[in-house]
């Protein structure tokens, strides 16, 4: 089943913070986060694995609550370059399954 993302859209001024949530009704093994700029391909941001291992880059962080089957992406001191649509992709708890992506959260950072 498709994970649910919230909010659907958010508008920020440069330097402000934002949180994007991803929730699943199924037990999860991992959660992936991607960012897609308009007219471009999705680009990998971060993966969070069951058991607490975290990978990522840039100045964006995320958490993964396995019991609640939820993940949150934290964008602090947002930059103009953060604008885009953020997708979470979830992997079922059995592992070795394909990703199911949410519908995305559109983020616009203005000067």
Partner 1 sequence: DAGVIQSPRHEVTEMGQEVTLRCKPISGHDYLFWYRQTMMRGLELLIYFNNNVPIDDSGMPEDRFSAKMPNASFSTLKIQPSEPRDSAVYFCASSFAVASNEQFFGPGTRLTVL
Query: Considering the complex, what minimum distance in angstroms separates the CB of residue 72 from partner 1?
Result: 19
Residue among 16 and 29 whose Cβ is closer to partner 1:
29
Could you give the string, one character per residue 7-26, with x where binding to partner 1 holds by CB under 8 A and - elsewhere? --------------------
Query: Considering the complex, what minimum distance in angstroms separates the CB of residue 29 from partner 1?
Result: 7
Tell me which residues in 28-67 interact with partner 1 (CB under 8 A): 29-30, 32, 40-44, 47, 49
Query: SS3 sequence, the chain?
Result: CCCEEECCEEEEECCCCEEEEEECCCCEEEEEEEEECCCCCCEEEEEEECCCCEEECCCEEEEEECCCCEEEEEECCCCHHHCEEEEEEEEECCCCCCCEECCCEEEEEEC
Tell me which residues in 83-102 interact with partner 1 (CB under 8 A): 87, 91, 95-102
Query: Considering the complex, what minimum distance in angstroms separates the CB of residue 14 from partner 1?
Result: 27
Contact 99, 22 (CB under 8 A): no
Task: Give contact residues for partner 1 (rule: CB under 8 A).
Answer: 2, 29-30, 32, 40-44, 47, 49, 87, 91, 95-104
């Amino acid at each position: 089943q498709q994970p649910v993302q919230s909010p659907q859209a958010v508008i920020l001024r440069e330097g402000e913070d934002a949180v994007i949530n991803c929730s699943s009704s199924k037990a999860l093994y991992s959660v992936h986060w991607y960012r897609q700029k308009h007219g471009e391909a999705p680009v990998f941001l971060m993966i969070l694995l069951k058991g607490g291992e975290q990978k990522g880059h840039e100045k964006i962080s995320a958490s993964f609550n396995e019991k609640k089957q939820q993940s949150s992406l934290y964008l602090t001191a947002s930059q103009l370059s953060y604008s885009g649509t953020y997708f979470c992709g979830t992997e079922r708890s059995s592992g070795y399954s394909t990703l199911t992506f949410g519908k995305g959260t559109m983020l616009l950072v203005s000067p």
